């Protein structure tokens, strides 16, 4: 049997298309950390991330970002393949730095 106290203790439901709203500041912080890493690794990359509404991210109830690397219609993939390890390392370092920020906010 479900009691009234149990029902009121449940977290409020969030509309699926607004799940990201509670995480926008954290998502921005994650994007900033990633962009700083990209600017350090790739000449010409801006240090400030560009904000854009990404429909696929609005349903994620957690910090989330999309990383655009290049056009998918690139005729020669060789440059992208060469930058993949550097890109992955930068993202990994940014996520590790973000984890410290995220965990500090939870305490």
Per-residue pLDDT of the chain (107 residues; tens, 9 = 90+): 556 665 556 667 778 788 888 899 999 999 999 999 999 999 888 989 988 888 888 889 999 999 987 766 778 888 888 889 999 999 999 999 999 999 988 65
Model pLDDT, residue 70: 72
pLDDT score of 100? 94
Burial annotation 54-78 (CB, 10 A radius, 16+ → b, else e) = eeebeeeeebbbeeeeeeeeeeeee
């Amino acid at each position: 049997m479900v009691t009234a106290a149990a029902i009121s203790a449940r977290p409020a439901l969030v509309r699926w298309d607004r799940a990201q709203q509670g995480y926008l500041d954290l998502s921005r912080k994650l994007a900033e950390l990633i962009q700083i890493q990209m600017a350090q690794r790739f000449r010409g990359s801006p240090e400030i991330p560009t904000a854009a509404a990404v429909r696929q991210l609005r349903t994620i109830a957690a910090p989330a970002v999309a990383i655009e690397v290049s056009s998918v219609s690139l005729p020669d993939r060789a440059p992208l393949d060469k930058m993949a390890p550097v890109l992955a390392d930068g993202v990994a370092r940014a996520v590790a730095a973000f984890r410290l920020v995220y965990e500090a906010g939870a305490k």
